[in-house]
Amino acid sequence: MYLIKDDLARELNDIEEAGLLKRERQLTSAQSAHVTTTETEALNFCANNYLGLADHPEVLTAARDALDQWGFGMASVRFICGTQSQHRDLEKQIAEFVGQEDAILYSSCFDANGGLFEVLFGAEDAIISDALNHASLIDGIRLSKARRFRYANADLADLRAQLEAARGARRTVIVTDGVFSMDGFYAPLDEICTLAEEFGALVMVDDSHAVGFVGDGGRGTPELMKVMDRVDIISGTLGKALGGASGGYIAARREVVDLLRQRSRPYLFSNAVAPSVVAGSRKALELAASSTEQREALGRNTTLFRELMDDAGFELLPGSHPITPVMFRGDDGARQASQIADAMLDRGVYVIAFSYPVVPKGQARIRVQLSAAHSEEDVRTCVAAFIAARDDVLAPGN
């Protein structure tokens, strides 16, 4: 044990010396646009709370009522005695929202992706995956025995080359995030679907950073790209825009969902989603589906932030997604981004800097995430903090 202990301490030390140690700030409040931490009060610009539903009164009421009606826990997997009628209701609600025949609920989207590929794709099959796909897709694909191919991020020429290389497989599937989380870029789903049709491949999209708020009806990237009827399998999370509690899903044709219920290991061998989370998520989804109020506020905030930051001379990656990367390039960029993020927290605005190896060398950034819960004043405060922090860090002594 002592040897292992020393080895691990050394490894931790290496992580720290490389500047990669992740320290968790502890919130002492609910997740919201305004939070308190053990050290400070802050405006939060780094949550995935896109629609501001994490502490929405109607979501809270639904979850609270569910404790009385449905209890605290299920103490069972779904197929033994862990399925309440509301679990099925939520699955049907998700399927209808994203335009698929049915859906199956998991404890998380990580589990949904982890339990998908092994069931549907075996040694005779091919899985073609975008190089920037989420870790859970990468792990899920690893668990299957299919041949694996990787194409450069959103690179259609490379995707075509990989489709050629995979010719002869029984089943072929192209796998992509709907939105790439470090850039806020959308996958080119229209062209991906066209290539898939040419090669007789399936298309699978993980729409975690889009479901609830991307597209006119909030139905996600396939809606935005007008390919809802051309995508075969969709995964997504309830842990971001849709209330942000926990849970994930796969939505697809009935036979896909039915087979996952029989064979998918994280579904079969892990506890059912908690009743209050199911009820709160149903309400969050209902709000996302029925009202445009939050989506419009989110769009206004994103546009305003981009305009003000442009005017202030910051470099933003182009786009319209509420993930808005503020770039700090060059050799000194990583240090600048991290010091500016620290200086902003001192000024009461909570944002996070990302640098190599999370993003490519020389492309350090502060990833700002807008929310419908932010007021116009919150957005202006954030931009003012950026400007002041930049002065602090880049021109000290002014």
Ligand X SMILES: *Cc1c(COP(=O)(O)O)cnc(C)c1O
Catalytic residue annotation: 181, 209, 240
- Nearer Cβ to ligand X (234/343): 234
In sequence order, the β-bridge partners of residue 352 are: 367
Q: Name residues whose C-beta falls within 8 Å of residue 303's C-beta, 6 or more positions apart in sequence.
A: 320
Asked if 108 is part of the footprint of ligand X (rule: CB under 6 A), the reply reads: yes
Token readout for 367 is 């990833």
Asked if 306 is part of the footprint of ligand X (rule: CB under 6 A), the reply reads: no
Asked if 56 is part of the footprint of ligand X (rule: CB under 6 A), the reply reads: no
Minimal distance, residue 370 CB to ligand X, in Å: 16
Q: How far is Cα 233 from Cα 252, in angstroms, rounded to an integer?
A: 5
Minimal distance, residue 286 CB to ligand X, in Å: 19
Residue whose entry in the numeric block shows the structure tokens 């950073």: 209
Q: Which of 44, 162, 237, 301 binds ligand X (CB under 6 A)?
A: 237
Residue 77: φ, ψ to 5°: -75, 170
Segment interacting with ligand X, rule: CB under 6 A, options 12-20, 35-43, 202-210, 271-279: 202-210
Token readout for 93 is 């609600």
Segment interacting with ligand X, rule: CB under 6 A, options 81-89, 165-173, 203-211, 217-225: 203-211
Asked if 301 is part of the footprint of ligand X (rule: CB under 6 A), the reply reads: no
Asked if 49 is part of the footprint of ligand X (rule: CB under 6 A), the reply reads: no
Asked if 136 is part of the footprint of ligand X (rule: CB under 6 A), the reply reads: yes
Q: How far is Cα 328 from Cα 313, in angstroms, rounded to an integer?
A: 12
Q: How far is Cα 254 from Cα 242, in angstroms, rounded to an integer?
A: 23
Segment interacting with ligand X, rule: CB under 6 A, options 65-73, 107-115, 324-332, 340-348: 107-115
For the chain, what's the residue count? 398
Q: Which of 52, 140, 239, 280 binds ligand X (CB under 6 A)?
A: 239
- Nearer Cβ to ligand X (102/206): 206
Residue whose entry in the numeric block shows the structure tokens 């931790």: 12
- Is residue 63 packed enough to be buried (19+ CB in 10 Å), middle (13-18) or exposed (0-12)? buried
- Nearer Cβ to ligand X (325/333): 325
Segment interacting with ligand X, rule: CB under 6 A, options 206-214, 318-326, 372-380, 384-392: 206-214
- Nearer Cβ to ligand X (209/283): 209
Asked if 181 is part of the footprint of ligand X (rule: CB under 6 A), the reply reads: yes
Segment interacting with ligand X, rule: CB under 6 A, options 104-112, 149-157, 278-286, 311-319: 104-112
Asked if 177 is part of the footprint of ligand X (rule: CB under 6 A), the reply reads: yes
- Give exposure, 279-315, as e/b (b: 16+ Cβ within 10 Å): bbbbbbbebbeeeeebbebbbebbebbbebbeeeebe
Minimal distance, residue 66 CB to ligand X, in Å: 20
Strands 102-106 and 41-44: unpaired
HSE at residue 325, side-chain half, CA atoms within 13 A, is 19
In the region spanning residues 208 to 227, those forming contacts with ligand X, defined by CB under 6 A, are 208-209
Minimal distance, residue 134 CB to ligand X, in Å: 4
Q: How far is Cα 313 from Cα 319, in angstroms, rounded to an integer?
A: 17
Sheet holding 352-354, edge to edge: 323-329, 363-369, 352-354
Residues that bind ligand X (CB under 6 A): 108-110, 134, 136, 177, 181, 206, 208-209, 237, 239, 248
